[in-house]
Amino acid sequence: MANPQCQHGFTKIANELLEALIRIDLSGHCFRLCLLVIRKTYGFGKKEDVISLSQMAKMSGLSKSRCSQIINMLEDRNIVTVSDFCNGLTKKYRFNKDFETWKTVSENCYRSRKVIQKGIRKMIPQKKEVQKKLYCPNSDELRTSELLLNLIRQRNPNFKQPDLQSWAKHIDLMLRIDKRSPEEIEKVITWCQQDSFWCSNILSTQKLRGQYDQLFLKMSGSNGKHIQEKQRYY
């Protein structure tokens, strides 16, 4: 059972300062590092001292990166002051006992959507809500996707159900960007699912789009003869 005694060491701190710490709104991690700085300075009869991030992490149980972030928050609120020591290789920390200069939460913005890194506030960009396009059951995009799925399942009834809306997106790109016609795509799908090699390689519309030119050439002239330029869909 723990039985701490003052004769084994104590930290001398004014009651007024402790009361100010009790009143101020701090997160648990911030309060933890406040006590750490007090222990490493007042606890040794010092006003300031060099404290490494490794020491902070070991004493607080937080990671070094988290300690650095919290110290920046406390410095921003003027609760802890930080100064370079030994040509900037290390830092000295001091607990600011002038609690009237501490910044309250309303004056500070560390609780807003900001991350303070090395004293510089960087706004976290809000993710824009992206509306996903949905394809109708009778659309060329979804109908062609279902054709590929049905032909695959004729050979493998246990083929995993894909996201047909995602499949339709690749068909949409083939129609709009690649300028393929729906009829041509259907012919290529039917041919590749009957070919002994390609039937096991074209198992999604994404793969279909990626290999389309090669599939079209194979379908149009398997003996290597010159083929007419294919019709584009506009």
Same domain, 78 and 147: no
Cβ atoms of 191 and 221 within 8 Å: the answer is no
Helix-then-strand count for the chain, H and E: 9, 5
Torsion of CA 216, 188, 199, 176, to 10 degrees: 90
pLDDT tens figures, 72-116:
999 999 999 998 876 667 889 999 999 999 987 644 444 444 444
Does residue 225 lie within any of the structural domains? Answer: no
Number of domains within the chain: 2
Same domain, 96 and 146: no
Q: Which residues of the chain have pLDDT under 70?
A: 86-88, 105-132, 222-234
Residues with Cβ < 8 Å from 54, sequence gap 6 or more? 64
Give, in degrees to the nearest 5, the angle at Cα 167 between 191 and 231. 50
Whether the full predicted model's pTM is greater than 0.85, yes or no, is: no
Handedness of CA 40, 41, 45, 50 (dihedral sign): positive
Does residue 132 lie within any of the structural domains? Answer: no
Last residue of a domain, one of 123, 148, 171: 123
**Element (H or E) spanning 92, and its range?**
strand 90-95
Same domain, 76 and 175: no
Question: CB-based burial of residue 218 (10 Å sphere; 0-12 exposed, 13-18 middle, 19+ buried)?
Answer: middle
Domain extent for 87: 13-123
CATH number at residue 84: 1.10.10.10
Does residue 131 lie within any of the structural domains? Answer: no
Last residue of a domain, one of 123, 153, 170: 123
Same domain, 57 and 152: no
